[in-house]
Amino acid sequence: QGQPVESGGGLVQTGGSLRLSCAASGRTFRSATMGWFRQAPGKLREFVAAISWISGSTLYADSVKGRFTISRDNAENTMYLQMKSLKPEDTALYYCASSYSGSWYSPSSYDYWGQGTQVTVSS
């Protein structure tokens, strides 16, 4: 209960686009910072982007800046990650999570995690 639910992953070719969604489940995202992280096989979970639910302020990893856009829909209590110009190195399991304190970049600041949605970019 309270875990967000991700969707929208899939298989795309290099240069393609996908939009990931993260829906609240049994809790509200209000007052939280919501983040997207990704983890490729054999690698650590890494920060992708985050958004303040109250202010709408955003933060991006350098590797996705200019290609990915994070947004939220207050009425639907849903967060999105629009991904464009996808590269094979974007292939990973993408997670959304909520945080109420700490660094936006650090996975340890986030306490409610979804199960992830797989994004695979073929070359």
pLDDT in tens, 91-111: 999 999 999 889 999 999 998
Q: What is the chain's mean pLDDT, rounded?
A: 93
Half-sphere CA count of 74, side-chain side, radius 13 A: 7
Split at pLDDT 50, 70, 90, the class of 29 is: confident
State the pLDDT confidence band at 24, using cuts at 50, 70 and 90. Answer: confident
DSSP symbol at 68: E
Residue 47 token pair: 């920060």
Q: What is the DSSP letter of 29?
A: -
Mean pLDDT of 48-72: 96
Is 121's pLDDT higher than 70? yes
Question: For 80-114, b where at least 16 C-beta lie within 10 A, e where not — what string?
Answer: bbebeebeeebbbbbbbbbbeeeebeebebbebbb
Tell me the pLDDT band of 120, cut-offs 50, 70 and 90. Answer: very high
